Amino acid sequence: MGRVRKRDVQPVGLEWRDPVWYAVFTTPEGARLRRSTGCAKHEVDKALARRAELEREAHDPHRRTQRTTLRDVLMAFLEGRAALVRAGKRSDATLRYYLQKASILRGYFEPDANDTLGTGLFPIQALDAHAVEGFIETRRNDGVDDRTIHKELGLLRGALRGARRRGEFDGDWAAILTLPDDFDVTYRPRRNFLTREQLPLLLDALPRPRAAVVAFIVATTCELGALQRARREDLPRDPQGNVQVVHIRGTKRATRDRWVPIVTADQRELIAFALAHADGTGGALFSRWSNMRRDLRQAVEKVRTESGVQLPTISPNDLRRTAGSWLRAAGVATDHVAKVMGHSTSRMVELVYGHLTTSELARLMQAAVARIEPPPVMALAERPDAIRVSTKTLPNAPTPKGRATPIGRPEAPPTPRNPVPRGGIEPSTRGFSIRCSTY
């Protein structure tokens, strides 16, 4: 059982697809199926036994649904997401997210599970609305927000739908996962970000290599996943020695691998600070920061204690929000900020990442008004060349020329080709005085 023997590398009926063995067999209808055994490479005997069980289940669908466990449907769901990662359609961070949610579900429904012996596993046919309500109540008692619970149930929903499609579950997943009436999934985006006066205080409270990381994020909007991939070669210098653009090696989606222009004075100053104090080796820009959230929280508490300034509690994502908010305050359009942050549309900037203080909003409004503000209304009325718009006349009340003038429409003067002015919005009552289209 320990070491894989050469003759066991590719047993009959099994196919190795990293990281597990897959059972290959034919159904009574003649269809060729490939199903995961969930067994590692050294578990050949176990994989063969699992293959035999899967083949028996293919001949007896009722047996299959009765033996399907929560572990089985979650594993199938995760394997599908892992295939998308290998195809480049999902990121590693997305797969880690699903793995975390799956471990929470199994921790509640299968707290004593022994995967090797197959004991303590939760049969999926036992899953009902009452069991789901118990999960929600337990998570709420643990202080978990309803939106987080909704995400965890979203994974379970996807796993059950896949199991039903494969014939491994015949229950009504929609009824089972019906949410309570008091379930609140309203999205409330965080609004924490640092002002230009607060950021220097946070940088002073951190060791210089850690402060360099914070400065780099605020200057470039770099996300946490791309931070460890940052290299010094990603900050090319022009002939004058200045950094004009920075390459962000994001992988979450195609738009995350991007070049960020360095155009504002704040960006240039922060990039210079980051380059001066970054401590990465071997071409890497930064060394690994193992517990960034904790260190940022402690730095904020240090500022509050020593200087009395009430900094907001800051997370790594709040630093990205700070970067987006500073760009908006500088007058950069939201769709341009979205490109800098690696978003495909400006929606996330408008809702989450591009916040403005009241003074910044007032300054932007004043700058916009100064560019496009029209002359005052009274001054326009006193100008001799002001456009005079006819006002509404009383019904059947003739104008000085004996005809009604349309509401809100300037009276066009007659021309040699059009001796009679055109009619207005209302139907004309002047008989043949308006030319027809065939004239």
**Residues 352 and 215 both lie in one domain:** yes
Statement: residue 188 has pLDDT above 90: no
Higher-confidence residue of 347 and 56: namely: 347
Look up residue 209 and give its two tokens. 């290599």
Residue 1 lies in a domain: no
**How far is Cα 439 from Cα 424, in angstroms, rounded to an integer?**
19
**Residues 218 and 343 both lie in one domain:** yes
Which run of H or of E encompasses 211? helix 208-220
Residue 15 lies in a domain: yes
**Residues 231 and 335 both lie in one domain:** yes
Higher-confidence residue of 118 and 345: namely: 345
**Residues 333 and 210 both lie in one domain:** yes
Residue 423 lies in a domain: no
Convert the pLDDT of each residue in 91-127 to its tens digit.
788 888 999 999 999 999 999 888 777 788 999 888 9
**Residues 80 and 26 both lie in one domain:** no
Query: How many CA atoms, within 13 angstroms, populate the side-chain half-sphere of residue 156?
Result: 29
Q: Model confidence at 371, in pLDDT bands (50, 70, 90)?
A: confident
**Residues 20 and 146 both lie in one domain:** no
Task: Report the domain count for the chain.
Answer: 3
Higher-confidence residue of 366 and 303: namely: 303
Percent of the chain with pLDDT over 70: 81
Q: Model confidence at 405, in pLDDT bands (50, 70, 90)?
A: very low
Q: What is the pTM of this model?
A: 0.59
**Residues 303 and 361 both lie in one domain:** yes
**How far is Cα 134 from Cα 112, in angstroms, rounded to an integer?**
17
Check if the beta carbon of residue 404 is closer than 8 Å to that of residue 390.
Answer: no
DSSP code of 60? Answer: -
- Identify the pLDDT of residue 62: 55
The chain-wide mean pLDDT, for the chain, equals 81
Residue 26 lies in a domain: yes
**Residues 228 and 261 both lie in one domain:** yes
**Residues 347 and 210 both lie in one domain:** yes
Residue 108 lies in a domain: yes
Convert the pLDDT of each residue in 189-227 to its tens digit.
778 899 989 999 999 999 999 999 999 999 999 998 899
**Residues 246 and 357 both lie in one domain:** yes
**How far is Cα 390 from Cα 392, in angstroms, rounded to an integer?**
7
- Identify the pLDDT of residue 134: 93
- The last residue of one of the domains, among 340, 369, 398, is 369
- Identify the pLDDT of residue 58: 72
- The last residue of one of the domains, among 337, 369, 401, is 369
Residue 277 lies in a domain: yes
Give the CA angle between residues 273, 278, 282 to the nearest 5°: 145
- The last residue of one of the domains, among 349, 369, 389, is 369
Could you write out the three-class secondary structure of 96-135?
Answer: HHHHHHHHHHHHHHCCCCECCCCECCCEHHHCCHHHHHHH
Check if the beta carbon of residue 300 is closer than 8 Å to that of residue 204.
Answer: no
Residue 420 lies in a domain: no
**Residues 291 and 217 both lie in one domain:** yes
**Residues 348 and 210 both lie in one domain:** yes
Tell me the residue range of the domain where 42 lies: 6-51
| CATH number of the domain to which 330 belongs | 1.10.443.10
Whose tokens are 């409330």? That residue is 188
Residue 422 lies in a domain: no
